[in-house]
Amino acid sequence: MCSSDLSCSCDGGYIMQKDIRVRKISRGTVIDHISAGQALNVLKILGITKEHPKTTLTVAINVPSKRIGVKDIVKVEGLELRGEDIDKISLIAPEATINIVRDYKVIEKKKVEIPEKIEGMVKCANPNCITNFEIVKTKFIVEKKHPISIMCLHCERVMMEKDIVRQF
C-alpha cells in the first residue's frame, strides 16, 4: 500500500515525489526559519521531551530556504508560544518566525526579536559569577546580534551562542 507522499514502482519499491507533504496542524505553533541544526535545541527550550511527552510534533531539519539558505522547521500541535519561550528561541534562531495556528489557519505571525536585555532566561557561564552562588537574577545585555554575544551585567563575562545553547 502506498502512502500519499510516495509513488509505487512496478517492482514494489518506492520513488519519492519532488515535494514532501506535511500535514497541517489544527491548533498550535509553527516555528519556521529556525537556523539550520537548531530544531532539537528549540524542542529543549520548549521542554517538549519532559513537559509535553505526548505532544504531536513535526520536525524538519536542513530544509532549503530562499530567505536563509537552509533552515529547520518545528510544528507543535496544541501549544501556543508566548513570551519568554519566544525570547529564548530568538537567542539561537534570530531569523525564526512564529505562526500561531487555530482551525488550520495562521491567526498570528511574528518574527522573533532578540531582546536588548536578557533577564533570568540563561545562567552565566562564569562559575565565579555571583548569580551562581546567591539568589540573584541573571542579567545580560546583548552586545551583538549576529552572531549573538551577550555580556553578564554582574561579572562582565561575554557568552557566545555555543555557551547559550549548552544550557538548553
Q: Which pLDDT value is given to residue 5?
A: 40
Output the 3-class SS for 61-89. EEEEECCCEEEEEEEEECCCCCHHHHHHH
Give the residues of the chain that fall short of pLDDT 70: 1-21, 49-53
What is the C-alpha separation between 3 and 134, in angstroms, rounded?
56
Q: Which pLDDT value is given to residue 82?
A: 80
pTM for this prediction: 0.78
**In the structure grid, which three cell numbers stand for residue 21, read together?**
507533504
Give the tens place of pLDDT for each residue, 69-112. 999 999 999 989 888 889 999 999 999 999 999 999 999 999 99
